[in-house]
Amino acid sequence: GGVSLRLCSTRVTLEGINRPVIDRIIRVDHAGEYGANRIYAGQMAVLGRSSVGPVIQQMWNQEKDHLKKFNELMVAYRVRPTALLPFWNVAGFVLGAGSALLGKKGAMACTVAVEESIADHYNSQIRTLMEEDPEKYKELLQTIKQFRDDEREHHDVGLEHDAEAAPAYVVLKTAIQLGCKAAIFLSERI
């Protein structure tokens, strides 16, 4: 008998999981949380010293926790990140800074648009995992549900801080949400 060496220790049982579904979910959620971090970084670069800075920082801190958790899940489930991370790095920061250049209301409109899109996306993933096997994916479901609730909270914070009063709110929100849909589609696959 030789000595067994285990290079990657994990609490996640990979046997019997629907690998393509789990890979897609974790990859896109990691990309989304990465992008959200970059959006808030861009907003803080412009509005960090303003009256809304602490509000943005608080939401960003939650997004940092989300990204940390998805970094852990990437390792636990052995999922590769999207190849588009360098693009999301720049695009997220530009979106955050650009919306913040419209002022507090512009930044909050961006927050509402993004967080609504992500909450809807998380709901879709919850339905998928519930159809697959709610017991097998219990921990992942709990994580996604908690993060969805956090995103809903951020959405509501944006509304409370006058997002709907941003210049061309409906156009801005629609454009950002179309971008979110494209980012989700691409990050699931690339």
Whether the pLDDT of residue 5 is over 50: the answer is: no
pLDDT digits (tens, 9 = 90+) for 12-65: 667 889 999 999 999 999 999 999 999 999 999 999 999 999 999 999 999 999
Residue 3, pLDDT above cutoff 70: no
Q: Using one digit for the tens of pLDDT, what is the confidence trace for 64-77?
A: 999 999 999 999 99
Closest CA to 74 of 164, 168, 157, 8: 8
Alpha-helix residue ranges (DSSP H) falling in 48-137: 53-76, 85-101, 104-132
Res. 6 pLDDT band, cuts 50 70 90 = very low
CATH topology of domain 19-188: Heme Oxygenase; Chain A (1.20.910)
pLDDT of residue 43: 98
The residue type found at 1 is: G
Query: Can you give the residue ranges of every domain in the chain?
Result: 19-188
% of the chain with per-residue pLDDT over 70: 93
Res. 11 pLDDT band, cuts 50 70 90: low
DSSP-derived secondary structure for 108-133: HHHHHHHHHHHHHHHHHHHHHHHHH-
Chain-centre distance of CA 55, in angstroms?
A: 18
Per-residue pLDDT reduced to its tens digit, 92-149: 999 999 999 999 999 999 999 999 999 999 999 999 999 999 999 999 999 999 999 9
Spacing of C-alpha 4 from chain mean position? 38
Check residues 11 and 1 and name the one with the higher pLDDT.
11
Residues, the chain: 190
CB 126 within 8 A of CB 176: no
For residue 168, the tally of other CB atoms under 10 A from its CB is 12
Look-up: residue for tokens 């960003």?
60
User: What is the reported pLDDT for 12?
Assistant: 62
Structure tokens at 89: 């790095």
